[in-house]
């Protein structure tokens, strides 16, 4: 069996999720982004969290807020939610957005 290097290493970490919909997760400067199967950056490494791409979308986090992007980095759901969950079979099938609960100082 011959092993061939497909993408030359240039980032801190590549993730073993493989390529889903033509993209894969990488990490640079402690932030996550997406590369294509040629090794080109398609989404810059600006996210604190980035889920494996599923059906063309990923859940992302920035500054403890969550949202949804497509595989080109376009924002589908604004990155402003306290948590963002999906149904197991499809992110776009059912998304649960949870906004933070705000309390006044007198209630805490």
DSSP letters spanning 30-65:
TEEEEEETTS-EEEEEEESEEPPPBTTEEEEEETTE
Residue 105 domain-assigned (yes or no): no
CB 96 within 8 A of CB 84: yes
For the question of whether the overall pTM of this predicted structure is more than 0.75, the answer is: no
| pLDDT value, residue 73 | 93
Residue 66 structural domain: 13-98
Residue 5 domain-assigned (yes or no): no
| pLDDT value, residue 52 | 81
Domain count, the chain: 1
Summarised one tens digit per residue, pLDDT across range 1-49 is 676 656 565 655 555 566 777 888 888 888 999 988 888 899 999 999 9
């Amino acid at each position: 069996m011959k092993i061939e290097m497909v993408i030359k290493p240039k980032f801190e970490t590549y993730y073993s999720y493989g390529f889903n919909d033509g993209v894969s997760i990488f990490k640079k400067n402690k932030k996550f982004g997406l590369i294509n199967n040629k090794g080109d950056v398609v989404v810059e490494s600006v996210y604190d969290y980035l889920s494996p791409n599923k059906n063309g979308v990923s859940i992302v986090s920035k500054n403890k807020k969550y949202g949804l992007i497509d595989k080109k980095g376009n924002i589908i759901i604004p990155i402003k939610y306290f948590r963002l969950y999906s149904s197991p079979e499809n992110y776009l099938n059912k998304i649960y957005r949870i906004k933070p609960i705000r309390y006044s100082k007198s209630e805490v």
